[in-house]
Structure 1
Amino acid sequence: MPAIADWIQGPEWAVAVTVAAYAAALLLRNKFKWMHPLFTGAAAVILFLTFTDISYEDYRIGGDLILFMLGPATVALGVPLYKHSQRLRRHIPGILAGVMAGSVVSIAGAWLLASVSGLSTAILYSMIPKSVTAAVSVPLSEQLGGIPELTAVLTVLTGLIGSMFGPMVLKLFGIRRDLAIGVAVGTASHGIGTARLVNDSEWQASVSALSMSLSCIITPIFILPLYWLI
């Protein structure tokens, strides 16, 4: 029987493990509605790597391939955006204002947390793009001088937390309008949050998809002044 070291040389095994873990998580979600498949699937992959003593560097060979596919997967979220394009045009000023405010708050929050905690500049640059999709946040972090691997983790965590708790928290604060929920989730939780809204409301998902796209443009622009100051 071949040793583990013999079959982890290529990317295929990491892709297979990731897909299998997510498929199993979806089956669990069908039985236990409160279990988020991304959270469960990620936990399963982490446990697998821990118990098999496989390093993250070995897993990343296939993980980067999955990360590359995030681009095409994110484009698929444009379907509800296209279907509601006429209606969205009437709300462009409000959506744009909300995305700009959300991007500023996200960047300022990361900067404040890093400053108060005494974190290094590299970690700060790794944190500030966390609210945009990984296809943008990871290369942006690398160009700023951050740690791409840390940015990838923070980006997924941000999207996951927003997907799991975002709509619930918004409703607790009395925010129930579809437009407001879509802007908040899309700006703060990128593709993961948007994918969650597809199951709740196609209109919310279309607003979220547009907000996510605008955030990918606005956030790098707003980061530039902070980069020059630091």
Structure 2
Amino acid sequence: MLEFIRTSPLVAIFVTLVAYRAAIAINRHFRGHPLSNPVLVGCLLLLAWLVATGTTFDHYIRGGQFIQMLLGPATVALAVPLYSNLARLKRAALPLALSIGIGGLTGIVSAVGFGAVAGLPHEVLLSLSTRAVTTPIAMGVSQGIGGIPELSAMFVILSGIFGAVIVKPLFGWLRLNDETVLGVSTGIAAHGIGMARVFQISEPAGAFAGLAMGLNGLFTAVVVPLLVGFIHP
């Protein structure tokens, strides 16, 4: 029985969905407290199950990959809120472009720079360079430049969770309430996980986050391969 639990793709899918549903319930119970972020809690619940059952990643991903396939359609579905807020997006076109260029480049340089100061291996630095974009883009770019796609995915998830947890307290501390600033900054720094959090606060802010996330992904996919030569082993 335990062997079936460890190796069955259906069990992996079921446990993933149950973990996330439980995480949403916990988040609602704590009234959306940043530390009860559904992605963070869901990951911890799933990790606890993997450790408790002795399930390896290779066995888990046989089922988990079917959920991962939904990342593409979920990203495409962002077109709906983008269209609903099209007029506001057009008015902010120039500031948005400048913010993405500066913010995206800062994210790349700072991540790699701190990694280099910490003495991380070359492959890890390459993997870090894509940490501010969505998982599919990060893994694809990482593989193309010689990084470790799985490590890039981990950095992406950690960045997103951190951004989703601190975004509301940080903006409250800074006394910022501009929806455009909230959405764009979160979309650039915390991609899809942060965007989901922003949508809970404001749909227009979520629309800006979705657009910033997509454009920053394109920016990163173009710029990172050009900067690889400056990331020395």
TM above 0.5, yes or no, is yes
How far residue 42 of structure 1 moved from its aligned partner, in angstroms, is 0.7
How far residue 5 of structure 1 moved from its aligned partner, in angstroms, is 2.2
- 1:46-125 maps to which residues of 2 (within 5 A)? 46-125=47-126
Query: TM-score scaled to structure 2, two decimals?
Result: 0.92
What is the distance in 1 between the residues matched to 2:133 and 2:16? 22
Q: Structure 1: which 5+ residue stretches go unaligned?
A: none
How far residue 213 of structure 1 moved from its aligned partner, in angstroms, is 0.9
- For each residue in 1:142-201, what CA deviation from the matched residue of structure 2 results, as whole angstroms up to 9, or x when unmatched? 122111111111111111111111232133234332111111001111111111111211
Contact 1:131 1:190 in 2 (8 A): yes
Match of 1:42 in 2: 43
Aligned residue for 1:131, secondary structure, equals: coil
Contact 1:167 1:185 in 2 (8 A): no
Partner amino acid for 2:92? H
Partner amino acid for 1:38? V
Query: TM-score scaled to structure 1, two decimals?
Result: 0.93
Which range is displaced more, 39-48 or 26-35?
26-35
- For each residue in 1:54-84, what CA deviation from the matched residue of structure 2 results, as whole angstroms up to 9, or x when unmatched? 1122112222222221111122222211101
Percent identity over the alignment?
Answer: 31
Match of 2:192 in 1: 191
Taking a change above 3 Å as real, the CA distance of residues 11 and 140 of structure 1, as seen in their structure-2 partners, is: farther
Match of 1:136 in 2: 137
Contact 1:133 1:216 in 2 (8 A): yes
Match of 1:176 in 2: 177
How far residue 111 of structure 1 moved from its aligned partner, in angstroms, is 1.2
What is the distance in 2 between the residues matched to 1:37 and 1:163? 10
> Aligned pair 1:5/2:3, yes or no?
yes
Q: 1:28 aligns with which of 26, 29, 35?
A: 26
How far residue 121 of structure 1 moved from its aligned partner, in angstroms, is 1.3
Partner amino acid for 1:84? N
How far residue 102 of structure 1 moved from its aligned partner, in angstroms, is 1.0
State the superposition RMSD in angstroms. Answer: 1.5
